Structure 1
Amino acid sequence: MKNLNIKCNALLSGVMLPLLLSGCGLKGGWLTTVGPDYHTPELPAAKRWYAPPPVLAHHGELTELAHWWEKFNDPVLNRLLAAAQAESADVANAKARIGQARASLVSSGSQFLPSVDGSLSSTRSSFSFGQAPFIRNQHQLELQSSWELDLFGGLARQQEAGLSQLASRTAAWHDARVAVAAELANAYLAQRYCEAQLRLNQADAQSRQASARVVGIAAQAGFRTTADAALARASAAEGQNTLLQQQASCDRSVKSLVAMTGLEEPQLRQLLAQPSGAVASLPKPPPFPINAVPAKMLLQRPDVAAAERDMAEASAKIGVAQAKRYPKLSLSGNIAPVLQNINGGALTLAQTWSIGPTLSLPLFDAGKRAADVEAAKQDYAAATAQFHAVVRTAVKEVEQALVRLASAGQRLPQAHAATRDYQSHYQAAKQAYEVGLGNLLDAETSRRSAVAADLAVKDLEQEQVSAWIALYRAVGGGWVD
């Protein structure tokens, strides 16, 4: 037994421990590291933005994107955002892919260290040589260890690819979170915009019904023509039809929010109705600055970060494929002490152990390994093209959001002026009709123009908020790695 302990210690101390230490600290191949060394590319973006920068209305306080939604001061929006994040299948799937990448990284990292397996067996057997049978009891413990020496850096490149994949999956998770936040915010904005339209349509429908009643009474008394009465009734019916249509649109919008948040519809409607002052009120986004240099701004977009890490992963996999074209050296060891006795006699110890290297040489594979290297290079070329496409898309989205913001800001004052003038014209036409100096058709036409002008203002206000949300999404949102 003493000799067994000595040999076990010799095996572990003389072979395993140095291998463990060298494997833990290995950063590349023992001889060399094949494959290209990856360098982060410069972002293929212009030196400046060509769309007009956002004008920070009223010198609003500049806020960090990570807390941008909180600055809306809209508790309903915050509640719906949290629910949508928890319910989103895209976010859940992206998070699960992070777990897969972590597991893959652990698997690739484990290849640097020796693997150790053990087995324990016990047998009872009988044999004879023409005489009384012998009964043998045998108990065996076996330890096996193997380790591949990373001569040409294939394992190091594999771990490098795993690290890049984990970073890419993490960025993709943040991109999914930002996308869900922007999608929910736009759906919530659409609901509030619909409520604003509904309120205007309700007021218009009530006004039309009141006018129809007054004109009907006047027609019965002979002060208005039957044509005026018919026109007033038609106008009231048209207003009611528009109101019902708008109500249906708002109900459909609620259904969309229910699907996105997973909340029960009664609960969601209760949230939307509280506080009562929030009904028909569009959320007010706080302004935020964007970096004047596109390349610096684009670095904070998670989809750009993910595409760049995909390039790094593809680059590392070229080295993985190239390493398979070179010799492979592995070291294996085995120790197996056996305790046995025959016919109930004293136990005796038999022991075997072995240790030695194995060198495998790739001789002929009909071009498979070379083809694998070429395929890896093409994957890297595809990842590079995808990276450039993502950057171009990112620049486009920022530029378009800036254009939308600038356009809405320029048009809003004009829309407000048009609303005031249309209201003045309507009041004048209404008064002229009431005193008999005008006709009902002119008054109704003026009313419709005034209502359309009010709706145009709400539409522009909605467009402005939507543009801020689009800009938030375009610059990468508030994700933190």
Structure 2
Amino acid sequence: MKSAGQATTALKNWNGKPSICKRAMVIMPLALVLSACAVGPDYVKPSLAVPAQYTSTNREQSAAKPQLSRWWTRLADPMLNALIEEAVQSNLDVATAKARVREARATYHQSVGTLFPTVRNTDSATRQRSVAGGSSGAASGPQITSQFQAGFDVSWEIDLFGKNQRGAEAAEYGVQAADEQLRLALLTLVGDVASNYVQARGYQARIALAQRTAAAQRETAQLTKSRFDAGGISGVDVATSTGQASTTEAAIPSLEVSYAEVVHRLGVLTGRAPGDLATRMKRGGPIPRPKLPMPVGIPADILSARPDVRQAERVLAQATARIGQAEAARYPTISLAGNIATTGSKIGDIAKNSSIGWSFGPTLNVPIFNGGQLRAAVEVEQARRDQNFIGYKAAVLKALEEVENALVAIAQEQIRYRKLTASVVAYRQATTLARSLYQGGSANFLTVLDAERSLYTAEDALVQSRIALGTAYITLNKALGGGWNGAIEVSKPELVDQDMGPRRASTRP
């Protein structure tokens, strides 16, 4: 008898065999001695070359593995923590990802079911009326006969070349890919909630700054009017100071619109109506400030940390298993079928030895000619595998790019923040001195006007830099793969069907 490997090689070039009988002689022993056999490629996780370190790191940044678990708590903002917890439980994108996990698990159970025999119960009862003719040609009257039958049918496709096993393998990889998709949805959600929260606090700070600046400019305008009434200055200074205060106040409505938009977005991200968080957010709070620098690890870490990279790798594994499934379709299949039945004209006759019949036997299905369809199906799956391999490499490159960009953004924003801080200190001193000189009559109003305008611009830019620093910190943690790592309940459906059993059909709404 040939070994399993020899027999598989012999069967692979099937169209060259002259006799079906010879094929059957090879297949039947294999069905008995092989519990499982697989064709097609076995998946091996590809090894991708990644840089040894990030090019955008500086001396202050450690190559130690980053602490990504619940990274947002290091912003020390209790309300942000609460909003993220609420969003994880109620966000609709996360709920959709949970449903996809349930779908993938159910698909896997379907695929595993193909590895086992199928057993069906076959019961029947018939009653027949017939009219028989007598010897003289006249009808002898109706005859009524009854027949009762009970039995079982059993069928089992022997997975000789692993077609069903490869299908179950692909479905299992599909479950793992769906799990990673859920983690990706959670990572995106956490980042979006944190980013919008920082933006909301930033708009509140900018609105408050504009209001304080406008109030100070109104005081300057009042001082100018007092000096005008005393005949010390011209009306041009009064009009200019009043116009500057109005210009600053005119920026507030646009900031209010932007603030309302991010608060509405936060509401939707947490699964609420857009305006439900307005009252809670009005309490105000500082712009979250990250502790920098933070360790970023090495580029190889993202292969295991980023859920989108892990998902792409699992999809590649699934595509590889499907090649084996398509390849197995080119080989013969053996099915075992049998039944046992008992028949009687009366229920009492059922199960008597004389009324019991059975049958059992294998069925051999050999693909002889199909116009190249089966080979083409393998090539289709191979091309899809190649696409997924490219997608996996693209996911890795995208992850590296996002980390590098975030590192550059944080480094440059820190420089900008330091410069803006120095600028605000200088303009604040200049404004104080200009007002003092103006009140003493030693400076003209244009000096005061220019100092106040420059101070407001610098202070607003400093607030925006704080927002940018917080956002860059969030982006870096997302790029490194930081997301939700707590327990997630995925088995609970969104809608529970109450009455699934047989019942009277109702009119559709």
Fold shared by both chains (TM-score > 0.5): yes
Runs of 5+ in structure 2 lacking a partner? Answer: 1-30, 134-139, 488-509
Residue 344 of structure 2 contacts residue 350 of structure 2 at CA under 8 Å; is this kept in 1? no
Check if 1:176 corresponds to 2:181.
no
After TM superposition, the structure 1 stretch with the greater mean CA deviation from structure 2, 368-377 or 437-446, is 437-446
State the shift of 1:195 in Å.
0.6
Structure 1's 429 and 126: CA in aligned 2 closer, same or farther, altered over 3 A? same
Match of 2:327 in 1: 322
Pair 1:96 & 2:99 matched: yes
- 1:248 and 2:257 correspond: yes
Give the counterpart of 2:437 among 432, 435, 440. 432
> Match of 1:337, as an amino acid?
T
In structure 2, relative to structure 1, the CA distance for the partners of 1:53 and 1:102 (3 Å cut) is farther
Cα contact 1:325–1:369 (8 A) shared by 2: yes
Q: Give the corresponding residue for 1:228.
A: 237
TM-score, with length taken from structure 1: 0.86
3-state SS of paired residue (1:65): coil
Aligned residues: 447
Q: AA paired with 2:440?
A: V
- In structure 2, the residue matched to 1:212 is 221
Partner of 1:190: 199
Aligned residues: CA RMSD: 2.7
Report if aligned partners of 2:66, 2:297 keep a CA contact under 8 Å in 1.
Answer: no
- Distance in 2 separating the partners of 1:71 and 1:136: 84
Other-structure match for 1:360: 365
Aligned residue among 149, 161, 165 for 2:170: 161
Secondary structure at the counterpart of residue 108 of structure 2: helix
Deviation at 1:311, TM superposition (A): 0.7
Is the 1:63–1:287 contact (alpha carbons within 8 Å) kept by the matching residues of 2? no
Q: Does structure 1 residue 108 correspond to structure 2 residue 117? A: no
Judging changes above 3 Å, is the alpha-carbon distance between structure 1 residues 273 and 365 closer, same or farther for their aligned structure 2 residues? same
Alpha-carbon distance between aligned partners in 2 of 1:249 and 1:162, rounded to the nearest angstrom: 45
2:83 is matched with 80
Which among 370, 389, 404 is matched to residue 399 of structure 1?
404
With over 3 angstroms needed to count, the CA separation of the structure-2 counterparts of 1:367 and 1:419, relative to structure 1, is same
- Report SS of the residue matched to 2:54: coil
Q: Report deviation, 1:289.
A: 4.8
Question: Take 1:432 and 1:227, find their aligned partners in 2: how far apart are those partners?
Answer: 19
Distance 1:345 1:152, change over 3 A: closer
Moved more, 222-231 or 290-299: 290-299
Q: CA deviation at 1:128?
A: 4.8
> 1:69 maps to what in 2?
72
Could you tell me which runs of 5 or more consecutive residues in structure 1 were left unpaired when the two chains were aligned.
1-25
| CA displacement 1:100-122 (0-9 Å, x = unmatched) | 11111111111111011112222
Give distance in 2, aligned partners of 1:291 and 1:213: 54
| Alpha-carbon spacing, 1:150–1:291, altered in 2? closer, same or farther (3 Å) | farther
Q: Which 10-residue stretch deviates more, 410-419 or 108-117?
A: 410-419
2:147 match: secondary structure: strand
Q: Does 1:271 align with 2:280?
A: yes
Equivalents in 1 of 2:204, 2:111: separation in Å? Answer: 55
Matched, 1:441 2:452: no
Aligned to 1:124: 127
Q: CA deviation at 1:88?
A: 3.2
Which piece of structure 1 moves more, 170-179 or 471-480?
471-480
Is the alpha carbon distance of 1:438 and 1:379 closer, same or farther for their aligned partners in structure 2, counting shifts above 3 Å? same
Instruction: Call closer, same or farther: CA 1:291–1:218 in 2, change over 3 Å.
Output: closer
Contact 2:349/2:355 (<8 A) preserved: no
C-alpha separation between the residues in 2 aligned to 1:288 and 1:478? 19
Q: Does 1:49 align with 2:58?
A: no
Shift of 1:428: 1.3
Shift of 1:336: 1.0
1:277-328 alpha-carbon deviations (Å, 9 max, x no partner): x2xx101335685453211233110000000011101111111001000100
Cα pair 1:318 1:377 within 8 Å, conserved = yes
TM-score scaled by structure 2? 0.82
Displacement of 1:363: 1.2
- From 300, 308, 327, the equivalent of 2:305 is 300
1:257 CA displacement? 2.4
Structure 1 residue 456 corresponds to structure 2 residue 461 = yes
Compared CA separation, residues 347 and 254, structure 1 to 2 (3 A): closer
Contact 1:63/1:286 (CA < 8 Å) preserved in 2? no
> Percent of aligned positions with the same letter in both sequences?
31
- Give the one of 142, 153, 159 matched to 1:150: 159
Report Cα offsets for 1:188-213 as digits up to 9, x if no partner: 11110001101110011101111112
CA distance in 1, matches of 2:247, 2:319: 62
Cα deviation for residue 72 of structure 1 reads 2.9
1:258 is matched with which residue?
Answer: 267
Classify 1:478/1:183 alpha carbon distance in 2 versus 1 (closer, same or farther; 3 Å). Answer: closer
Residue 117 of structure 1 contacts residue 145 of structure 1 at CA under 8 Å; is this kept in 2?
A: yes
Residue aligning to 1:465 = 470
